[in-house]
Structures are given as C-alpha cells and as structure tokens.
Amino acid sequence: MADITSFETLDMEIENVGGKPVVLEALWGGDTRGWSLLLYVYTVSGFSFTKRTTRHFLGHVALPEEMEQFTDGRPSVSFLAEQFGSSASKKYNLTFYFPSPKHADEDCPTWEERHLAITCADCHKLIIPTDSPYLPKDICYDCHLTRERDKELKDDEPCDEGVHMYMCKDGEYEHLGYSTYFDSFTIAPFIDEKVKKRLTKNPVDVVELGREDIIELKCKLEDALSEKLKSYTKPVINERMRKFLITDTIEYKGKDYEITRNSNHEHMEISNFIYSVQTAEKAIAGNYIYKIYFKNGFTYRDDHFLRFIHYVCQGATNIVNINSEHKHILTDTEIMRTLKKLEQVHCVTIYNGEVSITQMGRCLVS
Ligand SMILES: [Zn+2]
C-alpha cells in the first residue's frame, strides 16, 4: 500500500477505490518497527436495500524527508493526517474520523466500533475499554501512565537506582555506560572494593578512578579475558540459522574473534571485556579518569526536575515556568523545596529566578 505523503497521493488512492467516500478514518497501528498512522476510507455503493458500506485500507501517512518526527510534542504524521482529513472533507463532504490525534494509541475503535467505545475520563478520546485486570477501565493507557507519573511526582518516592559511568578530562565527558545497579557493569568486580571505600553517602556521590587505578583495572581485565578466551569457540552457523543470528568480528591482540551477539552468553561476555580493555587503554593513553555517579536520597521528583530542565528546557529555564508546568500536581512551595535541594547537591544553579542545570546534573540524566 502507498506511503501517503500528500493529499494528492491520498486522493489518488480514494479515486482507485471507487464508490462514494463517506468517512476517512485515521488509526494508529504498532509493531516491532514502531508506530504508523493508517488511513482507511468507507465507501457506500448500491441504493436503499442493496446499499452497502465497505472499508478499504489506503496506506500509511509518511513524512516528507525534510520533516522532523515530532512537532510541538506531537507525532508530525498526525498533523499531516489532519491536513489530509480537512482537504478530503472539503472535496468529498465526508466525515474525517481521527480519534487519537495527540498520541499514538492502538485502543481506539474503528468508525464502525464507536458504539463499543467509552470516552477516556481524562483526555476525552474514544477508547475500547481494556480487559486487563491491572489497568483502570475508565481511562486510556496514556492517561494511566500520566496518572502514575503524577503520583510518583506528588508522593516524592525514593529513586536512587541508576549508576552512570563517564571518562573525563578537562571538562570533556564521554559516557561509558548506564546500569540500574553498579554490580551489572563488566568492570564492577575488579573495582568493587576500591569504589566501596571511596563512597561517602553524599546525596550525589562521585567516585573517581585515576590513572593508576585504570592501569591496575586494565591488567585485571586482561587476565580475566585471557582466561575466557581459552574456552572461546568460533560459532558454527548454517545458512538457515544465519538469518536469525547477528555476528561481529572483533580484533583483540592481533587475533580476530567471531562473536555471536544474540543467544550466546560467553560471546557477549568476551565482547564486553574486549570493549572494557580498549576503553581502559584509551583512557590511559589520553590521560582520562573515570567518574562513577551514584545517588543517595534522590527522589522521582528530583529526577523529574533534572530531566525537565535538561531535555524539555534545553538546560535552562526559570522558576515561573517550572511552577506553571507543574501547578496541576505540585505547590510552589514543593517546587521551591526541590529546586533548593538540587542546588545544594550542585545539580542546578539558581540566580535571579533563573534555573540552569550543572555538569553534575547533566551527568545524572544524560
Ligand atoms: Zn486518555
């Protein structure tokens, strides 16, 4: 089916279907490649007793190359669909039916299923009620997630999970990895004792590994890797399996290793170890240090505010804007208390009502 990038393409598809178009329908569909916005037309043929309505799939809305994926926080394809719908309504005097223009949502009814639908209590869009026992019946999934997020924000629950690791020199930061727990890093068992000794229990705890630490780490990693490589076996892959397996060739100490990316735990370990050795080599050669960021006593609200300033406001905003964006959930006092806390732990600076994220703040949410 056609990629519909203009009203002309859509119009051609409608003409190809034939019959009298009465409804143009835009519905979201999702698969492993992501969301797509599908267009259908309902046409009427025959008269009185033989009158029949038929639904035809026309294609999916596709963005012209120069267009960004999102416009004002909404998927850009939905703006295109609205333009197409308005042009089609004018030309054919049809009904344009687009139940979820703001968010991609698979739970909306088709035009013919409208009588089975309810109106979401929060955003008022039509939805087929969920049959999941774990989800509320009166709101859509997006509004359910929004309510959950608002509750986390209001309740200010603890949120200390998440450790970031960077390689740094002269104000330059290269992100090496993120893990929910420190123990999940490949290098964790080799630096565990050192890191624990250096933890201070500050609200934001930054443990540094200097040149000598990284040289020692590299030696330990190389020893462990050479043990693992003793039992390395090259994957035997027949043609049928080749379709399902992803392989890579990695060079280490002048030898090539073919690594199966999915389904082989030993190979994934070898790959992670080689990456860790190479990173340590780069750090030693370039005089970088490692910085590992831990949180103690952080909350969802702290984390949310840092992300809001960093991602939504591109690093800087003012208190008036933060208050107005959160007034439906938080009081001005709650907001000010959170900002002061973030200032105390050097994640933001506040000056004359202007709030800016610091390098420390960026390192916690990048
Ligand atoms: Zn809703």
Sorted by where each starts, the structural domains of the chain and their CATH numbers stand as 2-116 (no CATH), 170-293 (no CATH), 299-365 (1.10.10.10)
**Span 172-192, pLDDT tens digits:** 999 999 999 999 999 999 999
Measured in Å, residue 157 CA sits from the centre of ligand 1 at 24
Measured in Å, residue 324 CA sits from the centre of ligand 1 at 22
Measured in Å, residue 5 CA sits from the centre of ligand 1 at 28
Question: Does the CA dihedral 333-334-337-338 come out positive or negative?
Answer: negative
Measured in Å, residue 290 CA sits from the centre of ligand 1 at 44
Measured in Å, residue 118 CA sits from the centre of ligand 1 at 11
Measured in Å, residue 111 CA sits from the centre of ligand 1 at 18
Measured in Å, residue 98 CA sits from the centre of ligand 1 at 14
pLDDT at residue 218 tops 70: yes
Measured in Å, residue 25 CA sits from the centre of ligand 1 at 19
Measured in Å, residue 76 CA sits from the centre of ligand 1 at 19
Find out whether 84 and 78 touch, Cβ atoms under 8 Å: no
Measured in Å, residue 348 CA sits from the centre of ligand 1 at 33
Measured in Å, residue 36 CA sits from the centre of ligand 1 at 19
362-366 long-range contacts, CB within 8 A, separation 24+: 362/173, 362/310, 362/315, 363/164, 363/166, 363/173, 363/291, 363/293, 364/162, 364/164, 364/204, 364/293, 364/295, 364/303, 364/306, 365/303, 365/306, 365/307, 365/310, 365/311, 366/164, 366/175, 366/310
Mean per-residue pLDDT of the chain: 92
Find the mean pLDDT for residues 303-328: 95
34 vs 320, residue with greater confidence? 320
pLDDT at residue 71 tops 70: yes
Give 328's DSSP letter.
Answer: T
Measured in Å, residue 21 CA sits from the centre of ligand 1 at 29
Find the mean pLDDT for residues 214-228: 95
Measured in Å, residue 100 CA sits from the centre of ligand 1 at 9
Name the least confident of 37-46, 125-134, 245-254, 280-289.
245-254
101-108 long-range contacts, CB within 8 A, separation 24+: 101/26, 101/74, 102/74, 102/78, 103/74, 103/75, 103/142, 104/28, 104/30, 104/35, 104/37, 104/75, 105/28, 105/140, 105/141, 105/142, 106/28, 106/29, 106/30, 107/140, 107/141, 108/27, 108/28
- Angle formed at CA 365 by CA 361 and CA 366, multiple of 5 degrees: 105
Find out whether 44 and 20 touch, Cβ atoms under 8 Å: yes
Measured in Å, residue 153 CA sits from the centre of ligand 1 at 19
pLDDT at residue 83 tops 80: yes
Measured in Å, residue 298 CA sits from the centre of ligand 1 at 30
pLDDT at residue 34 tops 90: no
pLDDT, position 1: 63
**Span 252-268, pLDDT tens digits:** 999 888 888 767 788 88
Those residues whose beta carbon sits under 5 angstroms from the ion ligand 1 are: 120, 122-123, 140, 143
Find the mean pLDDT for residues 301-316: 95
pLDDT, position 31: 82
pLDDT level of residue 237 (50, 70, 90 thresholds): confident
Question: Can you read off the two tokens belonging to residue 347?
Answer: 């994640």
Measured in Å, residue 127 CA sits from the centre of ligand 1 at 8
